[in-house]
Amino acid sequence: MLLVMHAPRIDLFEWLLQNAPNATYNLAFSNIYGLTVEEYQKYTDFTLPKNFDLGSNAQYGAHELKETLSVMYNCTPDNIVTTTGASEANFLVFSSLLSQGDEFIIEQPGYQPMWLTPEMLGARRINWPRKFENKFRVDSETLSSLITEKTKLVVLTNLHNPSGVLTNQQTIKTIAEIAEEGGAYVLVDEIFLDGSYSKKPSCFGIPNVLVTSSATKIYGLGGHHTGWIIAPEGIAAQCQRMKAHTTGASSSISEIMTAHLLKNARDEVIKRFQKHATTNRVVVKKWMTQHKDLLKWVEPDGGIVCFPKYSLNVPSVVLCKHLFEAQKILVNPGAYFNSEGFIRLSFGGDKETLQSGLEALTNGLQDVHRNHHS
Ligand SMILES: Cc1ncc(COP(=O)(O)O)c(C=O)c1O
């Protein structure tokens, strides 16, 4: 049988890309502002040599990056596949581990591509709720009841996108044990983990767990789009083979520049992120406390996104469209994370835009409240 794949629409991306250019208050993206070349050089002291061969290509990843990642994750180069962003990393994991008819279990709310991609590949989604009432924590007990003989993969993000909630190592260990009993692997996307308010180790090393990540969110290197998979050797080999069908080789320059930053200044760049995120989190927290009548939240454990529940009885897409049209505020509808009644609010931008954006958001929400009750 010939399987024809059609790319399903990712509402979240289309919403962001279509509206961001016209937003006055962009409270929607999940990355911090990028590093300038000047900042980069201050952190690394690295410039590309004049005789750098622009034709060079590292099919199996630049050795500088693999070396650096081996230290970061306490693993060997055979555990690593370098990729073009966490997007390709996740794609390679899904396409290597899932076939038509397999089941995968995915946290909900969640990051849309992490179920649309495996569904596109013919796998069947099983939702695993992370409830607001339970502070968006993963519930390992429910997981056991969702596993069947067809389950091949359990998928979660840590920190959780969209809520910013951390799952601790012990819980991931329990999840991995439950998955292993059912013959499934666990994929943990750790793209936001270094944004935790206190430093947390990767969960690679827990048996049966593979992780993906990239330097696009916390480190200000989105333009390089360097990502990676850290997995048991056999799976890494499968993903590496799959990569021949996507990008073949990632950008050497990006990988080398990313490696120098991670090797020489990882902690400092994390501090840069934390300084900014902490300042903005204080602003958001104060605003949340003042507007409990409009929104309630689970305070994130890090990162620059949160997922408050609003008290209006309006679908999230309608609400967000209204906020955009009336106030030029860009926030993401909960529906795009498969959770109605929520918005994802980001606070990675500059403090002034955040402050005036939150004021505009108060007006926008009160406006909808009035119209709804008049
Ligand atoms: C959980 C998660 N994984 C992966 C990505 C994509 O990462 P990258 O920009 O490295 O491709 C994102 C981007 O928002 C994300 O939130």
Spatial contact of 217 and 31, defined as CB atoms under 8 Å apart: yes
Q: At what angle do helices 63-73 and 252-290 cross, to 10 degrees?
A: 40
Distance CA 31, CA 216 (A): 7
Distance from C-alpha of 60 to C-alpha of 77, rounded to nearest angstrom: 10
Helices 351-373 & 316-327 angle (0-180, nearest 10): 120
Q: Is the CB of 30 under 6 A from ligand 1?
A: yes
Domains of the chain, by residue range, sit at: 11-35+267-369, 54-265
- Write down the architecture of domain 54-265 according to CATH: 3-Layer(aba) Sandwich (3.40)
pLDDT in tens, 270-303: 999 999 999 999 999 999 999 999 999 999 999 9
294 CA distance to ligand 1 middle (Å):
29
Q: Which atom of ligand 1 lies nearest, measured to the CA of 84? A: 11
β-bridge pairing 209-214 and 185-189: parallel
Domain 11-35+267-369 = CATH 3.90.550.10: no
| Nearest atom, ligand 1, residue 87 CA | 11
Beta strand 124-129 with 209-214 is unpaired
> How many angstroms does the Cα of residue 31 sit away from the middle of ligand 1?
9
Ligand 1 pocket, residue 191 CB under 6 Å: yes
**Separation of alpha carbons 13 and 112, rounded Å:** 9
Atom of ligand 1 nearest to the CA of 86: 10
Task: Summarize pLDDT for 144-173 with one digit per residue, the tens.
Answer: 999 999 999 999 999 999 999 999 999 999
Instruction: Sort 177 into a burial class: Cβ within 10 Å, 0-12 / 13-18 / 19+.
Output: middle
What's the chain's average pLDDT? 95
Ordered per-residue pLDDT tens for the chain, 374 residues:
556 678 999 999 999 999 999 999 999 999 889 999 999 999 999 999 999 999 988 899 999 999 999 999 999 999 999 999 999 999 999 999 999 999 999 999 999 999 999 999 999 999 999 999 999 999 999 999 999 999 999 999 999 999 999 999 999 999 999 999 999 999 999 999 999 999 999 999 999 999 999 999 999 999 999 999 999 999 999 999 999 999 999 999 999 999 999 999 999 999 999 999 999 999 999 999 999 999 999 999 999 999 999 999 999 999 999 999 999 999 999 999 999 999 999 999 999 999 999 999 999 999 988 887 65
Give 86 Cα–ligand 1 centroid separation in angstroms.
5
Ligand 1 centroid–CA 51 distance in Å is 33
Closest of 348, 258, 355 to residue 32, by C-alpha: 348
Q: Does 86 contact ligand 1 (Cβ within 6 A)?
A: yes
Distance (Å) from CA 191 to ligand 1 centroid: 7
Q: In Å, how far from its chain's centre is CA 20?
A: 19
CA of 102 to the centre of ligand 1 (A): 24
User: How many residues make up the chain in this entry?
Assistant: 374
Q: Ligand 1 within 6 A of 61 CB?
A: no
